[in-house]
Structure 1
Amino acid sequence: MLRNGETGDWIGTFEGHKGAVWSVCLDTNALRAASGSADFTAKVWNALTGDILHSFEHKHIVRACAFSEVKLWDVRSGKIVQTLETKSPVTSAEVSQDGRYITTADGATVKFWDADHFGLVKSYNMPCTVESASLEPKYGNKFIAGGEDMWVRVFDFHTGDETACNKGHHGPVHCVRFSPGGESYASGSEDGTIRIWQTGPLTD
């Protein structure tokens, strides 16, 4: 289901999955949407029409990847181009806005991978099991993470130091994402709410 980010009004519903949908996201221009489902598929949609552009089959439930590896797909050919190995199930995967990094959350770890050569750039241990992480898109100098302890934390990208902690949810946080401009970020929780948080002054 697609809703207006400012008003919450319903815009449209994408129909095509045959199982529960675990993860969804929009591209930078909000022209395409991607979804991962319990029907063992990931789908790419036209966000304007709701049409399915691509459907990628897998052997497991797709929760942005609910298994111990991340698979990168060519959206034109539908073929796997790279697999990134992790020690714990990956619950979140995001490509940075500038295309330089792939951010993943697995277990109590947030990792940043080189999107061109696929090497591990940074790996930070988190205070709890993390369900989702997102890199600030404008300067790339901070990232957010949310998980089982119900808090949404902000960290320094270069050092991994925690710089802020937001309380408000009453259930585990399953998804966090920055806005395209980085001025705010959203968190979705098992408590049935989505919260919007202000990032604060952006500096490079």
Structure 2
Amino acid sequence: MSKRVPIVCHGHTRPIVEINYSQNTPEGYFLASASKDGKPMLRHGENGDWYGTFEGHKGAVWACVLDTPALKCATGSADFTARIWDACGGSQLQEFQHNHIVRCVNFSFHGSNKLVTGGMEKIVRVYDLEKPDADPLKLPVAQAGIRSVNFIQNDNLVICSYVDKPGIGVFDLRSQQLSQTIETTTSVTSIEVSFDQQHVTTAEGAYVRFFDVATLQQVKQHKVTTPAESASYCAAKRKFVAGGEDMWVHLYDYDTGQELECNKGHHGPVHTIRWAPTYDAYASGSEDGTIRIWFPDSSEAAAAP
């Protein structure tokens, strides 16, 4: 059975720095993208068709993520704001001013009523979206800019990575303190929490690591064939994908670390990569300004649950 040709999604005019799929919903699933062109976009997750652009940011957009029901989109920008958008109509719902570049945003998993942000201000903030005028919870100041933030463990913990600084910080929202630091040998450029909130996958240069969310213990580590800026894990198929400076998209076997496929097509480094929630495709975003949706071997896709 022949492989499907990848879908190439045009529209952005500058490098793409983050893509995120939504959960699978009754209406299907969706793909949000952040770009240095300042125009975050929403697409149909399966075919990449453009739905709309969220207009309003006045600087590069570093982060773009959908909430659990895919009704709202959150973005973080170099214009010192994080914003919440109506994912259906495109209008801006809320805007949160910061004192420096906002590099990362994420919704709480349960209820989608909290927003966590981080960036070059070196502060992790947690907003209650049901009380938008209330001051956010500010967690202890970090020693470096915040590169990524994610809620885990019933939204009681926030894990974050730093800009050009090794380590993963774990903040407990109940004590409002840094509760744990996971050591790394280099800076962590990507943290993915799986759709079922069971797995954490990190890209750390030469290595991709996998952690159990419940214990935050490492369960596996693989040295990849080329340094990875972003990685994503598919537990259903026991495979993971990674991309980085070499401009190629690599598919690996989770158990052995063997490279299974090397997909060529991007004309710039791959900054971000994610599996679709159906696990029959994965998407990559590149310095070349395009998103590519790749399809693994069709016979494998048919066997996936």
TM-score bucket (shorter structure): 0.7 to 0.9
Deviations 1:161-187 (A, max 9, x none): 111110001111000011111111111
TM-score (norm 2): 0.56
Aligned-residue offset at 1:81: 4.9
Matches within 5 A, 1:11-22: 11-13=53-55, 15=57, 20-22=60-62
Q: Which amino acid aligns with 2:184?
A: T
Partner SS, residue 226 of structure 2: coil
* 1:103 aligned onto 2:201: yes
Q: Which amino acid aligns with 2:260?
A: T
Please give the alpha-carbon distance, in whole angstroms, between the structure 1 residues aligned to 2:174 and 2:269.
36
Matches within 5 A, 1:26-37: 26-31=66-71, 33=73
8 Å contact kept, 1:146–1:153: yes
* Percent of matched pairs sharing the same residue: 43
Q: Counterpart of 1:2? A: 41
> Which of 275, 281, 290 is the equivalent residue of 1:178?
275
Partner SS, residue 129 of structure 1: strand
Q: CA RMSD in A?
A: 3.1
Please give the alpha-carbon distance, in whole angstroms, between the structure 2 residues aligned to 1:87 and 1:39.
32
Give the gaps of 5 or more residues in structure 1: none
Point out the more displaced range, 2-11 or 146-155: 2-11
CA radius of gyration, larger in: 2
CA distance change for structure 1 residues 29 and 156 in 2, over 3 Å: closer, same or farther? Answer: farther
Matches within 5 A, 1:37-48: 45=84, 48=87
Q: Counterpart of 1:51? A: 94
* 1:157 aligned onto 2:254: yes
Please give the alpha-carbon distance, in whole angstroms, between the structure 2 residues aligned to 1:79 and 1:40.
25
Please give the alpha-carbon distance, in whole angstroms, between the structure 1 residues aligned to 2:277 and 2:246.
26
8 Å contact kept, 2:54–2:85: no
* 1:190 aligned onto 2:232: no
CA distance change for structure 1 residues 32 and 62 in 2, over 3 Å: closer, same or farther? Answer: farther
Please give the alpha-carbon distance, in whole angstroms, between the structure 2 residues aligned to 1:83 and 1:106.
15
Partner SS, residue 251 of structure 2: strand
Aligned-residue offset at 1:61: 3.1
Aligned-residue offset at 1:12: 2.2
Matches within 5 A, 1:67-78: 67-73=165-171
Q: Which has the higher contact order (CA 8 A, sep 6+)?
A: 2
Matches within 5 A, 1:125-136: 125-136=223-234
Q: Which amino acid aligns with 1:30?
A: A
Q: How many residues align?
A: 200
Please give the alpha-carbon distance, in whole angstroms, between the structure 1 residues aligned to 2:261 and 2:200.
23
Aligned-residue offset at 1:22: 3.2
Q: Counterpart of 1:146? A: 243
Q: Counterpart of 1:25? A: 65
Aligned-residue offset at 1:160: 1.1
Aligned-residue offset at 1:128: 1.7
Partner SS, residue 106 of structure 1: strand
Aligned-residue offset at 1:19: 6.6
8 Å contact kept, 1:38–1:62: no
CA distance change for structure 1 residues 107 and 91 in 2, over 3 Å: closer, same or farther? Answer: same
Please give the alpha-carbon distance, in whole angstroms, between the structure 2 residues aligned to 1:192 and 1:131.
16
> Which of 42, 59, 62 is the equivalent residue of 2:146?
62
Please give the alpha-carbon distance, in whole angstroms, between the structure 1 residues aligned to 2:219 and 2:243.
21
Point out the more displaced range, 125-134 or 80-89: 80-89
Q: Which amino acid aligns with 1:8?
A: W
